[in-house]
Amino acid sequence: MKNTMVAAVAAMLLSSTAVSAVELEVTHWWTSGGEAAAVAELAKAFDATGNTWVDGAIAGGGGTARPVMISRILGGDPMAATQFNHGRQAEELVEAGLMLDLTDVAEAEGWREAMAAPGMLDSCTIDGRVYCVPVNIHSWQWLWLSNKAYEDAGVPVPTNWDEFVAAAPALEEAGKIPLAMGQQPWQSSGAFGVMAVAIAGLDTWLAVNRDKDAEVAGGPEYAKVFEAFGKAREMSAGSNVQDWNQATNMVITAQAGGQIMGDWAQGEFQIAGQVAGEDYTCLPGLGVNEIISTDGDAFYFPKLDDPEKEAAQKQLASVMFSKETQLAFNLKKGSLPIRKDVDLAAANDCMKKGLAILGDGNVMPSGNQLLSPDTSTQIEGLMVEFWNDTSITPADAQAAYADIIASAD
């Protein structure tokens, strides 16, 4: 009798789940091996609610995916949820009234109080309303090194940027490329930003990126950054790959010494079975000043004018923010959880370094939070052009950069 009742209740629950199950298309640009493993955790958690995640991965990186996402939303063919970076990438879509307001979910679940880096919810907030759910803290400020590449070259693994530059000739003699770099414009531009913080210091970087001070951008502190960037260009000669994860793979396979890349690179080392501290070394802040930038990914939910879908969208937002999903997703992604109450006992050495830096409060805003998408695109264009055309001198590039900053918003 008892068993029959349990079966009946279970059948009822199953059928009610089936009735309310909703399919949501979710777009993102996570297509590398590590990224795919991480996004599968989000899909799994949402599917466990009885709804269905319809995966809308867009290949080619954020620079390719974002225009597709934006034109679909503007063109009346919105997906149910979409990735953007924290900050200003979706600002115009929110201002145009196209995005679902998540304030009720955020307040009911105490998102603001739970955040590990409070500024990141501010990046989701416009006129006091919350329009996105942040899913991680991803910092750009890292140099990833292949321990084997240095061993093969017979030199110690560098502990900072100067040592990295000094070790380059030994690597070249051993037939390796000191610095791996892919051709997507955001890669050289991101590396430039990291070098600027390490070489010119945070205050100088803020003067340019936050205060848009063109004199500083064209001045002596930034001249040093451009000189170093020119040197980095020389160190990457022969690195003929396109995607960022192909460049990471050069480090994983010891064809290259290192890569300046955000900590999403960790997902790649992980699926290749490499161990932080043993097979690879990570230097936050290029080993010069340890700092974490509050970059990251967030999901936005375009308005669909469908109450059932809207309820499922809010459910997805809530699932993404939950402690369990945060842990499973971030361990695979190589990023840090957005919540301060997630126990990261299973974190690897590099994630632990990141957590300690975050705990010390050594954080800085990201370019995505301070610069408009238009300004970021102009800077990316300049950096990749400089990288590919060795006839452009560091001084030429600096002059063009100062011009962009002069009209930046």
Q: Which residues contribute to the site for ligand BGC (CB under 6 A)?
A: 29, 35, 61-62, 85, 138, 244, 264, 297
CB of 245 to ligand BGC, least distance (A): 8
CB of 232 to ligand BGC, least distance (A): 20
- The pair of three-digit structure tokens given for residue 228, joined into one six-digit string: 């170093």
- The pair of three-digit structure tokens given for residue 371, joined into one six-digit string: 């610069």
Minimum CB distance to ligand BGC smaller for 60 or for 156: 60
- Residues 256, 171: Cα–Cα separation, whole Å: 8
Minimum CB distance to ligand BGC smaller for 91 or for 227: 91
Q: 355 in helix, strand or coil?
A: helix
Minimum CB distance to ligand BGC smaller for 56 or for 62: 62
Minimum CB distance to ligand BGC smaller for 264 or for 387: 264
CB of 190 to ligand BGC, least distance (A): 9
- The pair of three-digit structure tokens given for residue 112, joined into one six-digit string: 């603001």
- Residues 192, 385: Cα–Cα separation, whole Å: 13
Q: Please enumerate in sequence order all residues whose Cβ is within 8 A of that of 396, keeping only pairs 6 or more positions apart, or say none.
A: none
Minimum CB distance to ligand BGC smaller for 245 or for 378: 245
Residue number of the CB atom closest to ligand BGC? 264
Q: What are phi and psi of 272, to 5 degrees?
A: -85, 0
Q: Would you state the torsion angle of the CA atoms of residues 229, 147, 32, 183, taken in this order, to the nearest 10 degrees?
A: 20
CB of 61 to ligand BGC, least distance (A): 5
- The pair of three-digit structure tokens given for residue 287, joined into one six-digit string: 């080993």
Minimum CB distance to ligand BGC smaller for 58 or for 208: 58
CB of 20 to ligand BGC, least distance (A): 31
Q: Please enumerate in sequence order all residues whose Cβ is within 8 A of that of 196, keeping only pairs 6 or more positions apart, or say none.
A: 204, 205, 208, 222, 225
CB of 299 to ligand BGC, least distance (A): 12
